[in-house]
Amino acid sequence: MSSLAKYLVINGFSVSGSDRVLSETTEYLSQIGCEIFIGHNAKNIENCDVIIYNSAINNDNVELKRAIELKKCVIKRVELLKMILSSFEKSVGFSGCHGKTTATSMFSHILYNSDIGFTSHIGGFDMKLSNLYQSGKEIFATEVCEFDKNINNLTVNIAVVLNIDNDHMNSYKDFNELKYAFFSFLDRATISVVNIDDKNLYEYSINNRFSVTFSMIDKTADYFAKVLYGKDKLTVRFFERGKKLYDIRLNTNCNFNVYNALSAVAVAQIIGVPAKAIIEGLKGFLGVKRRNEVIAVINGCKIVCDYAHHPKEIESILSSYKNEKPLVIFQPHTYSRTKLLFDDFVKVLSTVENLILFKTYPAREDVDCGLDEKSLAKELKCRVFDDVFSLVIKIKELSLKNKIILLLGAGDLYDKIKNEIKNA
């Protein structure tokens, strides 16, 4: 929502908006000219012509109800995104249950180093390009989310799917419906680009022989990547249909980010971006906030935040730090996800020697939607914190005994921890 608000401001619209609490994002939007209200109030929308709401807003929201009563023009966030997307010559959409924000950012950096006029709409905050960057209208790059079936409303020229997993299942009747939402997204595109190391996308590629494939396992894929060496930073060799393209040193120690880079390379090669721009773009990518981000160093111990809130994502980030044996602090995200994936959460978190849980971030849910952090803690036999001040005191104490502390989750713990550490 914040990146779309920024796009509208840049393009001459008067924008206001409301949120439950102040944050870095609301402060930034205020600085660029948005009128920001803290708390939802029916009066907030009185002077607005168009009301835009996202999938996290319930039908009983006072602002939404008042807008409908006043017969205002009311549209969902995805409908606005669709309108913006349609005004560009070409569009690229990165989707998948994991990695789409990073892949979109990496591709944006490639375009940034080219002479192509582009606009990128990113679901997180890129360290350099923020969450919205505009230099022209030749290409629109965006991530496409499957939550609330938003993916069904968007059609792009080049569609990328990184993976398909059992996430956001409360939006779909079963996994097959989710899978075919991704397949349909690919079918609607002029060019479909898929990761064939994912079994579901391999299935898609077999039945759609014109799809462009990428892989880190199958050398016969259209685009292939091999990690050559590296610990803190990985050096990766990229291939196009068996021919070596270039070696690039990425600013990441995470193997799963190689897939994100590979998808960005595949699209860049397809549209004819010069090799120099691709190389410099990926070299210049410094990361996205909350994606393996070091937010502080206390007593020589790195405090690293990651958005991982699904068992597969947690497993991936843990594998990147397996030799360091980090202390892990995890905040579950929504009660329904904890219930749906409870056994998977227990399986992956039980491999952590030192584990702390923080109270669940409910998002749009009530606790009766599923299970909370106490249910996980009972099974995992670990400690639970429910206030940030006490947790920060504990982090400072534990920083004397650990080299890495991982803060995992997509909830509000990231902002709270950063503020407490900064003010301590």
Question: Residue 170: what pLDDT?
Answer: 84
- Are 101 and 89 contacting, i.e. CB atoms less than 8 angstroms apart? no
φ/ψ bin of 99: left (φ > 0), alpha (ψ from -120 to 50), beta (otherwise): left
Here the tokens at position 347 are 């399986």
Q: Are 401 and 371 in contact (CB under 8 A)?
A: no
* 258 closest CA partner among 304, 224, 284, 221: 224
Q: What angle do CA 382, 383, 388 make, to 5 degrees?
A: 145
Could you read off the pLDDT of 143-198 as tens digits, one per residue?
A: 999 999 999 999 999 999 999 998 888 889 999 999 999 999 999 999 999 999 99
pLDDT tens string 204-238: 999 998 999 999 999 999 999 999 988 779 999 99
pLDDT value of residue 23: 86
Domain edges within the chain: 2-76, 88-284, 293-423
User: Residue 253: which pLDDT band, with cuts at 50, 70 and 90?
Assistant: confident
Tokens of 110: 């490639």
Q: Considering the chain, what is the average pLDDT of its residues?
A: 95
Instruction: Over range 6-25, report the average pLDDT.
Output: 93
Taking only Cα atoms into account, the Rg of the chain, rounded to an integer number of angstroms, comes to 21
- Percentage of the chain lying above the pLDDT 90 cut: 90
Which pLDDT value is given to residue 161? 98
CA distance 322 to 32: 42
Predicted confidence band of residue 269 (pLDDT cuts 50, 70, 90)? very high
Whole-number Å distance between alpha carbons of 305 and 295: 7
Please name which of 66, 30, 41 lies closest in space to residue 51, comparing C-alpha atoms.
Answer: 66
Structure-model confidence comparison of residues 253 and 245, the more confident one: 245
Would you state the pLDDT for residue 341?
A: 96
CATH fold for the domain made of 2-76: Rossmann fold (3.40.50)
Q: What is the pLDDT at residue 424? A: 59
Q: What is the pLDDT of residues 396-423, one digit of tens each?
A: 999 999 999 999 999 999 999 988 887 6
205 sits in which H/E element: helix 199-207
> Tell me: domain 293-423, CATH 3.30.499.10, correct?
no
The whole-number pLDDT of residue 70 equals 96
CATH 3.40.50.1370 fits 88-284, yes or no: no
With contact defined as beta carbons under 8 Å apart, do 92 and 142 qualify? Answer: yes
Q: Can you tell me the distance from the alpha carbon of 362 to that of 413, in angstroms, rounded to the nearest whole number?
A: 12
Task: Please choose, from the candidates 106, 29, 39, the residue with its C-alpha nearest in 3D space to the C-alpha of residue 260.
Answer: 106
Under DSSP, is residue 407 helix (H, G, I), strand (E, B) or coil?
strand
Across the range 268-288, mean pLDDT stands at 97
Residues 363/20, Cβ–Cβ less than 8 Å: no
pLDDT of residue 305: 97
pLDDT in tens, 38-87: 999 999 999 999 999 998 898 999 999 999 999 999 999 999 999 999 99
What is the Cα–Cα distance from 201 to 199, expressed in whole angstroms?
A: 6
Segment 309-329 mean pLDDT: 94
- pLDDT higher than threshold 90 for residue 279: yes
Report the pLDDT value the prediction gives residue 78, as an integer from 0 to 100. Answer: 96
- What whole-number distance in Å separates Cα of residue 61 and Cα of residue 241? 52
